[in-house]
Chains A and B, each alone.
Chain A
Amino acid sequence: MRKTTRLLLFIPLCFTVLVAWFAWSAYHAAPTLAAENLRGAGLSISAAIEQLMIADPSFRSLARYTTPDIAYFALIDRQGVIRFHTYQGLIGQPFSGDVRYMLSNGISEQRERLGTGEEAYLLRTTVHARHNEYLLTLALHTYRADQVIRRANTGVTIVAALTIALWGLTLLTLGMFRREERHHREMNRREELARLGEMGALMAHEIRNPLAGIKGFAQLVETDDDIEQARKHAEKIVAQSLRMEALVNDLLAFARDDQGERQTAELSEVIQECVVLVGIEAAAQNVTIKVDAPVPLRAHVVADRIVQLLLNLMKNALQAMPDGGVLTIGLRQKSTTAHISVKDSGSGIAPEHLRHIFEPFWTSKAQGTGLGLALCRKVAEEHGGGLSVKSSLGAGSEFIVTLPVVK
């Protein structure tokens, strides 16, 4: 699973777990909270009723006592006679329950459905007035206390809806990502095929030219009686063969994926090695080489490949200065990256050519394979770095190789 997909699933998953836990805890606590509220209200009302009973032994004042939460309440004496009821028609009526058992039972509470269908909270407790014991039956409306349960239910519903919406969006986004990815892969595949066709055509062209030369000179050798002349033709055949060999070697180097064994190398030493290798050619062209590498920098590289890269750049620079000039090789550290610059004082690269110079088989030279700079960039990227160019006509070009340094 790709990183984006994992991230896209992980974030909603965390959110879902967090929100589900929050909703569940609120939902789980709501009935307990409602029960506590009802018990608190019931006990407060019981205490108030008991006070009124003590203050008024005739219980008449109880008829005026009311709160919005009370559905009804009744007082039953030990003989099972209803001494007070909020519905006065029931006062004096016998109570059919086991009052003595209920009195000895202390406080009892439960939710019960009344005859109207309403679910009420029923509290039975013992109250005292002037040395007499009464059973208080108190029924409370549960609507207000159940508000917390309703809120919790609404919360759970909203949270569930939001979570479903979130997951819907996540799956939709994932689907879009995957579709985009498929589209991208298809585009890449088509581009690769197009590039392959283009490269095939270019290679055929590159091979056909020397091959035509070889064929022509071989036909001449076949028919020529003059051995000296035939030798000259054979030399041409060898030259064309070498050109083809160079093309094939560059192609192989470009296509090669194996990077060899990496070692920590001193970059200034690698530069010096390259300078020595191009020194004679530079002197022959009257080019002065300046090396500006003030600090030692080390990188984890395949030294041969970096030498190949720098040599390519330096040879290109020399070719850009046929009438002499200055080739400056710089080495600097910027943050965690080494910057190796190869700067010439040649004629520079035309702006319209700049964007093509790293493309395989693109060349402005008559004899080039067009793989040199593409190979250089590939090598730099294989090492976790890059290759860029700055150039202006008449002022020369500067190629900058970046490589991660080793501390």
Chain B
Amino acid sequence: MKRNLLIFMCVVLCLWHRPASAFWGSDSTDAASGLDVAAGFDVNTITSIAGTVTSLPERKGQEQHTVMVVATNQGAVTVVLGPWWHWEKQSFSISKNREIAITGSLAQGKDGAMYLFAQRLENPESGETLTLRSDSGKPLWSRNGSGNRNGGGPHGGMGSRPGAGFRGGTRGGIR
């Protein structure tokens, strides 16, 4: 009886094999969204949103990246503000329930939520702005582009040119 049960369990395990992965995902991929929270950016999806801050910036995940939530007309958007250590050094004031305008690269996570990789933040009331990335999307917390895998821009490669531009070309340029 026990032998049969063990054989059955072995068969189930053999049939149900899946690629091994850590629970927090691989590389800098966020487990919940499936997005590259540490280095993700795509110039093609740059957009601007305006809304009310519903959740103040906080540290999150293995990558210790900073996120806050903004309520917009199109629904809640999780804004990714870069690494926590960089955010801590910024003096840009964010208050809950205050209006804010953000420009950045918009993406939909595998959890269905909208994420915005912030490029520039603006306080409409005070006119205060904070730039986190260059126009091409290069993060300001990375020196000379090292550690920035989001470089490139509109010329950052076609689908037929793997290996160039943003995170290897196909991920950053116009496709």
List residues of A whose CB falls within 8 A of some B CB: 68, 71-72, 74, 82, 85-87, 89-90, 93-98, 110, 112-119, 122, 137, 139, 141, 143, 160, 164, 167, 171, 174-175, 178
Contact = CB atoms under 8 A, between A and B. Distances in A.
Contact of B167 (A93, A115, A119, A164): A115
23 contacts: A71-B107, A82-B154, A85-B174, A86-B45, A87-B45, A94-B154, A95-B158, A96-B155, A96-B158, A98-B158, A112-B170, A112-B175, A113-B170, A114-B171, A115-B42, A116-B41, A116-B117, A117-B107, A118-B35, A118-B107, A160-B16, A171-B1, A171-B5
A203 B34 CA distance: 86
| Residue picked from A85, A97, A160, A175, most chain B C-beta under 10 Å | A97
Contacts of A97: 158-161, 174
B35 A122 contact: no
Contacts of A175: 1
B109 to A, nearest CB: 7
Nearest to A113: B171
B29 interface: yes
Given A86-B47, A90-B174, A93-B174, 4 more contacts: A87-B46, A112-B159, A143-B109, A171-B5
| Residue picked from A87, A95, A113, A137, most chain B C-beta under 10 Å | A87
Contact of A72 (B37, B44, B74): B44
Contact of B161 (A96, A113, A137): A96
Nearest to B15: A160
A94 B174 CA distance: 10
B41 to A, nearest CB: 5
Interface string B113-152: 0010100000000000000000101000000000000100
Nearest to A108: B159
Given A114-B44, A117-B35, A160-B16, A74 B174 contact: yes
B112 interface: yes
A96 B41 contact: no
A117 B5 contact: no
Given A90-B44, A143-B108, A116 B8 contact: no
Contacts of A174: 1
Contacts of B74: 68
Nearest to A142: B108
Going nearest first, the 7 A-B pairs with the smallest beta carbon separation are: A115-B42, A97-B158, A117-B36, A116-B107, A115-B171, A93-B154, A116-B40
Nearest to B25: A117
B21 interface: no
B105 A115 contact: yes
Given A87-B44, A115-B42, A71 B108 contact: yes
Bin chain B's interface residue count.
35 or more
A115 B106 CA distance: 10
Contacts of B154: 82, 90, 93-95
Nearest to B2: A175
B90 interface: no
Contacts of A113: 170-171
A402 to B, nearest CB: 41
| Residue picked from A71, A118, A122, most chain B C-beta under 10 Å | A118
A298 B43 CA distance: 98
Contacts of A93: 154-155, 174
A97 B175 CA distance: 8
Contacts of B112: 143
Contacts of B44: 71-72, 74, 85-87, 90, 114-115, 139
B4 interface: yes
B118 to A, nearest CB: 12
Contacts of A110: 159
B5 to A, nearest CB: 6
Given A71-B45, A87-B46, A115 B150 contact: yes
B52 to A, nearest CB: 20
Interface string B2-38: 0011001000100010000000000001000111110
Nearest to A96: B155
Nearest to A171: B5
A178 B4 CA distance: 14
A336 to B, nearest CB: 42
B43 A115 contact: yes
A93 B1 CA distance: 71
B42 A114 contact: yes
Contacts of A89: 43, 46, 135
Contacts of B107: 71, 114, 116-118
A118 B117 CA distance: 12
